[in-house]
Structure 1
Amino acid sequence: MPRRSGDAQGAQARGAAGVARALAAQVKPTFMLPAVATSVFGALLAPDADPVTAALHAAGVGAALYVAHVVDEYVDTHRRGEEPPTLPRRVLASTAAAGTVLVVAAAAALWVRADPVATASLAALWALAVLHAPVLDRNTVAVTVDYPVGIAAALVGGFAAQTGAVSAAVLAVAAVFAVLLSGEKVAIDRLDAAFDRTVDKRTVPVVVGDRRAAQVAAGVLALSGGLVAGFAAVGVLPRVAAGAAVFPLAAAAVTVVASSRRAVQAAMALTYPFAAALFVVVCTATQCHVAPLVEAVLAGVGDAAVLAGAG
């Protein structure tokens, strides 16, 4: 596709209002909210949580994801010509720089206020953000795991910002989520395979075909369930955590037999109860600061079940 001139590239974003709308469009909740929520997830697993520190890390995560979207827009429109530009080069470049400043500011504040691991997690997220479109999305493995690895980094960093350390249980949960989301990424890429072929994006479905990609997705999802059971068996996670493995195993089963769209819907729907189950298990084991509330809710559910059975 031919590149457009500088004037044509900015035609759709002339004026302050047009620029503002185009930049606001780079705020993509589907990708940003899970990452920010994962940072908060990690913070809530800590025995004590400082809201300011949690907000700093979450803000840094959000800023890094925004940089990723802006850089992706720049590369796809101005360097590769895959899509019509909505913003001029200079606006995208300056916006990415401004987002980087926000990430650096959050990282510096965490260095002073919290722990180097929290700072390192933001540095890792920023590196993934600026490398995704130019480099990582052209490699089959990298384009599959970069976002899941970022989610894992957000969880570890959110916890480390509160505690100054990283527990084995939190690392285990982060690893499980990285594997789980990698399986979901393969499933999602099945939906975009036709377009990805046209822009030379070598995702798993493009490389091995739809049927084998479904098998790969199911295998990786099942692996995440196996990891949960394994971590529970060796004591890294509480034994009861093994029960949570049913969710990714169910997602794997659906992926094998359902259509690509149904498989994605099922996997995403099962992720939420899976995350909730792991949170409850790890939280009660580590006596995180919301553990009394969690235990009260569980006690209430148990009492309700007893009463229902007696009735």
Structure 2
Amino acid sequence: MPNRRGVEVVRALASQVKPTFMLPAIGMAAFGGLLAPVVSPTTFALHVGGVGLALYVAHLVDEYVDTYVRGEEEPAASRRVLALGVVLASVGFLALLLALASTAGPLAGLSLLPLWILALLHAPVLDRNTVAVTADYPTGIAVALCGGFLTQTGRLPPLVVALAAVFLVLLSGVKVAVDRLDVAFDRTVDKRTVPVVLGDRRAARAATGILAGAGALVLGFVAVGVLPGFAATAAAFSLGMAVGCVAAGKRRAVRVAILLTYPFAAALFLAACPETGCGPIRVAAEHAFGLTERTFPPGYL
């Protein structure tokens, strides 16, 4: 019986591991880290792990609030198990924060703290405010990106801040588009998302404006020299997302927005790399070039 109970607890806690939300945040933390001219694997792992645990805390708190405070969902785990999960995950998160601070400095450790605060506040507080429920996850993404670079270098140049700002705006637009799919349910639980407050048609226009604004922000940063010229190519992808919101059905618009987010990110990464150093990418390219030269020496053909 005790073993069976333990298995049930593990399953309940594992049910709150949600890769759909965790992987983009972890990916953006890696994005920031890989931009650095030199990357410490230990620091990289501690920061990425901290980002993942912060998301896990958010999921546990969200499940607890939605199930036992608001009664919006059927229980996936008992009240006690979820509370235990929040405590254990928070202890693990704070341990990673302290390890990161001791490895890369106090500022590196503190760069994780806003993510934990967002995790604790998301469901009970931020989830009921229209602006906050739209921008809190994108804000976490922006913080994770900045933290990834900061923990490796100890500094935060304007280029990295600009990238974070662009993703904050872009992903807020994507969030509005996604919320259009859930508007019927969100109304029943009094969740005041943009589509609930404005209606579907005006929400589509809002998403379009925000996504187009992300592209305009990229071009603005390019114009003032904060981002290199190649970054302007990313604006084409955000424009494609904006067009999708008005020209396609809402489900297809979400698919287009999510799909185009990847080349948008890739364009910005490739643009930023020559400016920041991108140590791992540079080393990998040098090894690949050396392998090519050894495999196909001069005069081989």
TM-score under structure 1 length normalisation: 0.88
CA contact (8 A) 1:283 1:290 kept: no
2:158 corresponds to which residue?
168
2:296 corresponds to which residue?
none
For the residue of structure 2 that corresponds to 1:230, the secondary structure is helix
Structure 1 position 285, deviation (Å): 2.0
Q: How many residues align?
A: 285
Q: Indicate yes or no: 2:207 matched with 1:217.
A: yes
Structure 1 position 294, deviation (Å): 8.0
1:96 corresponds to which residue?
86
1:199 paired residue among 179, 189, 194? 189
The 3 A distance-change label for structure 1 pair 139 and 190 is same
2:28 corresponds to which residue?
38
CA contact (8 A) 1:117 1:157 kept: no
1:22 paired residue among 1, 7, 12? 12
1:124 corresponds to which residue?
114
- Stretches of structure 2 lacking an aligned partner (at least 5 in a row): 290-301
2:102 corresponds to which residue?
112
Identity of aligned residues (%): 61
- Superposition pairs for residues 191-270 of structure 1, below 5 Å? 191-270=181-260
For the residue of structure 2 that corresponds to 1:48, the secondary structure is coil
For the residue of structure 1 that corresponds to 2:156, the secondary structure is coil
CA distance in 2, matches of 1:244, 1:80: 41
CA contact (8 A) 2:34 2:281 kept: no
Q: Deviations over 1:96-116 (max 9, x none)?
A: 011111111111112111143
CA distance in 2, matches of 1:288, 1:77: 44
The 3 A distance-change label for structure 1 pair 115 and 225 is farther
The 3 A distance-change label for structure 1 pair 215 and 116 is farther
CA distance in 2, matches of 1:61, 1:265: 25
CA distance in 1, matches of 2:144, 2:276: 19
The answer to which of 133-142 and 113-122 deviates more is 113-122
The 3 A distance-change label for structure 1 pair 241 and 295 is farther
1:84 corresponds to which residue?
74
The answer to which of 284-293 and 194-203 deviates more is 284-293
Structure 1 position 41, deviation (Å): 0.8
The 3 A distance-change label for structure 1 pair 290 and 127 is same
Structure 1 position 31, deviation (Å): 0.2
For the residue of structure 2 that corresponds to 1:290, the secondary structure is helix
For the residue of structure 2 that corresponds to 1:119, the secondary structure is helix
- Stretches of structure 1 lacking an aligned partner (at least 5 in a row): 1-13, 300-311
The code of the aligned residue for 1:50 comes to S
CA distance in 1, matches of 2:35, 2:209: 29
Q: Deviations over 1:246-281 (max 9, x none)?
A: 000110011111111011000000000110111111
The 3 A distance-change label for structure 1 pair 257 and 120 is same
For the residue of structure 2 that corresponds to 1:83, the secondary structure is coil
TM-score under structure 2 length normalisation: 0.91
For the residue of structure 1 that corresponds to 2:111, the secondary structure is helix
For the residue of structure 1 that corresponds to 2:16, the secondary structure is coil
Structure 1 position 168, deviation (Å): 0.8
CA contact (8 A) 1:60 1:122 kept: yes
The code of the aligned residue for 2:101 comes to W
CA distance in 2, matches of 1:294, 1:172: 26
